[in-house]
Chains A and B, each alone.
Chain A
Amino acid sequence: MLGAAVVIFLALLLGLAADLVYQAAPAFAHFGFAFVTGTQWNPVTTSYGALPFIVGTLETTAIAMMIAIPIGLGTALSLAYLLPKRLRLVLGTAVELLAAVPSVIYGLWGLLVVAPWSRTIIEPVIGFIFGHSGPASGPEIGIGLLLAGIILAVMVLPTMVAISRDVLMAVPSEQIEGALALGATRWQTLWRVVVPHARTGILGAVTLSIGRAFGETMAVAMIIGNTPSLAHSLFSPAATMASIIANQFTEAVEPFELQSLIAIAVLLLVMSLLVNVAARLLVRSVGRTHVSAA
């Protein structure tokens, strides 16, 4: 009976990959490798290139990580060691619960609450700092690449904080005492001993967050503008692989349009699998070093 369950599970997993590839096959066959490198996405001329969405996915994720890594690490350290005990527990639980807030609610908040602030405060300030040129050029409309990055950062923070806090707390107390016994201050102990000791696990937390940001769909689809072209500014509307699928799937009626969207899903699946396998191996190797150190 259990064996049957396992077979169903594996069939599900393999079936998912096979079904996607099968559905996308016509697009891959027709466009070849140019599908990955093409920058045009135009149903009218039947030209489909996924590069704008691949780049959009990488850009929003990069923005999110630049914001989330320092804040997340600082928060994790506070929750693991720095705040008063009782506060650690309360805030830690709060962060974990917030991880349960659905993506579509972040999207709603991002679109209806944060986007106006983005238009009137965040983008003008960043535009001013960069002299309204380069990455900060163009009209400041609120939604777009930058807002998607910011909201993604907020969304991955609970995961990043919860995992990093756990690996930081798993640093053996003899390591901490070893540093203290040499006359290290609390900061030195944290930065030079605790964080380096936990670095693999923290890297795992970051990688897992990257995987989450890659695949995040609803919130991004609601706030990025879903424009199928390469963004030339932080303020440009853009699209990620997941957002363009959510946005156009039900309206895809032209030849190859639906197959091309599914082909993007195949690419997204491959990227997510790579990142997730890496993350799991990293988080797992943490478990192993703990064992071997004992």
Chain B
Amino acid sequence: MVLCVICVALALIPLVGVVGYTIVRGAPVWSADFFTHAPTPEGIPGGGILNSIVGSLIIDGMAAAASIPLALAIGLYVSQSHSKIAAGIRFAADVMAGIPSIVVGIFAYGIIVNTMHHFSAIAGAFGIAVIMVPILVRASDGAFRTVPGDLGEAALALGAKRASIARRVLIPTAASGLFTAILLAVARGAGESAPLLFTAIGSQYFTASPMQPMAAMPLTIYLNGIQAYPTLQRIAWGTGLLLLLFILILSVAGRTASARLGRRA
């Protein structure tokens, strides 16, 4: 029993430590300017991370827009099919979820950056989307499968076509599960930096063009955090706290939605 308390403590203390330090070191950095200004050139005080916040929103928004329809369609397919192909796709999605994110980054580099001959936000978004797809496929598959089979059959018996069953019965019934899936996948995508390292690559300037290199919060944390200058490390902590909050809020919201779904079922 004592041993177990020790294990729980050993497991939780570092985990709480990560969150705790991020809050303690990050909160003092926050100010109105921090959120509303782009970085100042090196050596000049002030400046903020507005470009990183907007960059993250644009990159993750593009990634979500590309991955959600694709992955939900696949999830719908595998949830309704009992074929070997469906089982194979499920397995493939599981395995794909285990591909290291740095490898995905190289894929995005090879496909987009090499073709366009320059770094761009859209290449980063492509990488993040590849990370999100398998997560979304498995989670939406699960959500669609919680829809009782007889609902679909009842609709079929009423003469409904397959497409309208999906639209009128499956998607609305699975809605809150799908919502959870999307929130958790976005949370995961938003925290990824490895796929952005040599795609979106980061930028000191404010830009909204998907064809240009772009800053993003995880990149800003990495690029500033490894510097030996306390002013830059402070930017990393401040950005870290914002990113952490964003991700934890998405995760908690996702969990709450699925808990509510569980109660109703």
Where the two chains meet, the residues of A that have a C-beta atom closer than 8 Å to any C-beta of B are: 1-6, 8-10, 12-13, 15-16, 19-20, 22-23, 70-75, 77-79, 82-83, 91, 93-98, 100-109, 111-113, 154, 157-158, 161, 208, 211-212, 214-218, 222, 242, 245-246, 249-250, 262, 265, 268-269, 272-273, 275-277, 279-280
Pick from B10, B25, B74, B76 the residue with the most CB of A within 10 Å. Answer: B10
Complex: how many Å from CA A4 to CA B74? Answer: 9
Contact of B106 among A6, A94, A262, A280 (CB under 8 A): A262
- Asked if residues B74 and A5 are in contact (CB atoms below 8 Å), the reply is yes
- Asked if residues B89 and A215 are in contact (CB atoms below 8 Å), the reply is no
- Asked if residues B102 and A107 are in contact (CB atoms below 8 Å), the reply is no
B11 CB within 8 Å of chain A: yes
Contact of A97 among B6, B111, B197, B252 (CB under 8 A): B252
Sample (17) of A-B pairs whose CB atoms are under 8 Å apart:
A2-B73, A2-B76, A73-B7, A74-B11, A75-B12, A78-B4, A78-B5, A83-B4, A96-B255, A100-B188, A103-B194, A104-B225, A108-B22, A154-B15, A212-B98, A215-B101, A273-B99
The 5 nearest A-B residue pairs measured at CB = A215-B100, A74-B7, A102-B191, A276-B98, A5-B73
- Asked if residues A222 and B91 are in contact (CB atoms below 8 Å), the reply is no
In the complex with contacts A98-B15, A108-B237, A268-B100 CB distance below 8 A: yes
Contact of A104 among B10, B91, B191, B201 (CB under 8 A): B191
- Closest partner residue, chain A, to B4 (CB atom): A78
**Within 8 Å CB of A104, what residues of B?**
191, 193, 218, 221-222, 225, 240
**Within 8 Å CB of B76, what residues of A?**
2
- Asked if residues A215 and B15 are in contact (CB atoms below 8 Å), the reply is no
Q: How far is the CB of B23 from chain A (nearest CB, A)?
A: 11
Complex: how many Å from CA A8 to CA B73? Answer: 11
**Within 8 Å CB of A1, what residues of B?**
73
Complex: how many Å from CA A282 to CA B146? Answer: 24
Q: How large is the interface on B (under 10, 10 to 19, 20 to 34, 35 or more residues)?
A: 35 or more
- Asked if residues B236 and A108 are in contact (CB atoms below 8 Å), the reply is yes
Complex: how many Å from CA A12 to CA B91? Answer: 15
Q: How far is the CB of A256 from chain B (nearest CB, A)?
A: 16
Contact of B12 among A16, A94, A212, A222 (CB under 8 A): A94
Complex: how many Å from CA A277 to CA B93? Answer: 11
- Closest partner residue, chain B, to A281 (CB atom): B91
Complex: how many Å from CA A16 to CA B6? Answer: 43
- Asked if residues B193 and A218 are in contact (CB atoms below 8 Å), the reply is yes
Complex: how many Å from CA A74 to CA B1? Answer: 10
- Asked if residues A20 and B102 are in contact (CB atoms below 8 Å), the reply is no
- Asked if residues B73 and A75 are in contact (CB atoms below 8 Å), the reply is no
- Asked if residues B187 and A100 are in contact (CB atoms below 8 Å), the reply is yes
- Asked if residues A78 and B218 are in contact (CB atoms below 8 Å), the reply is no
- Closest partner residue, chain B, to A93 (CB atom): B255
- Asked if residues B100 and A249 are in contact (CB atoms below 8 Å), the reply is no
In the complex with contacts A215-B101, A272-B98, A273-B99, A23-B21 CB distance below 8 A: no
Q: How far is the CB of A30 from chain B (nearest CB, A)?
A: 18
Q: How far is the CB of A273 from chain B (nearest CB, A)?
A: 6
Contact of A109 among B11, B22, B95, B252 (CB under 8 A): B22
In the complex with contacts A161-B11, A262-B106, A265-B106, A249-B198 CB distance below 8 A: yes
B17 CB within 8 Å of chain A: yes
- Report the number of A-B residue pairs with Cβ-Cβ less than 8 Å: 224
Complex: how many Å from CA A222 to CA B15? Answer: 18
Q: How far is the CB of A73 from chain B (nearest CB, A)?
A: 8
Where the two chains meet, the residues of B that have a C-beta atom closer than 8 Å to any C-beta of A are: 1, 3-8, 10-12, 14-15, 17-19, 21-22, 25, 70, 73-74, 76-77, 85, 89, 91-104, 106-107, 109-111, 114, 130, 133, 137, 187-188, 190-194, 197-198, 201, 218, 221-222, 225-226, 233, 236-237, 240, 243-244, 247-248, 251-252, 255
**Within 8 Å CB of B10, what residues of A?**
71, 75
- Asked if residues B8 and A106 are in contact (CB atoms below 8 Å), the reply is no
Complex: how many Å from CA A73 to CA B127? Answer: 34
Complex: how many Å from CA A8 to CA B70? Answer: 8
Pick from A91, A211, A218 the residue with the most CB of B within 10 Å. Answer: A218
Complex: how many Å from CA A105 to CA B217? Answer: 11
- Asked if residues A215 and B7 are in contact (CB atoms below 8 Å), the reply is no
Complex: how many Å from CA A218 to CA B236? Answer: 14
Complex: how many Å from CA A242 to CA B6? Answer: 32
**Within 8 Å CB of B77, what residues of A?**
2-3, 5-6
In the complex with contacts A6-B89, A100-B187, A214-B100 CB distance below 8 A: yes
Q: How far is the CB of A23 from chain B (nearest CB, A)?
A: 5
Pick from A6, A107, A242 the residue with the most CB of B within 10 Å. Answer: A6
Complex: how many Å from CA A23 to CA B243? Answer: 33
- Asked if residues A265 and B103 are in contact (CB atoms below 8 Å), the reply is yes
Complex: how many Å from CA A211 to CA B74? Answer: 25
- Asked if residues B15 and A158 are in contact (CB atoms below 8 Å), the reply is yes
Complex: how many Å from CA A10 to CA B90? Answer: 11
In the complex with contacts A74-B8, A100-B247, A105-B22, A217-B130 CB distance below 8 A: no
Q: How far is the CB of B218 from chain A (nearest CB, A)?
A: 5
In the complex with contacts A2-B77, A105-B244, A154-B18, A100-B191 CB distance below 8 A: yes
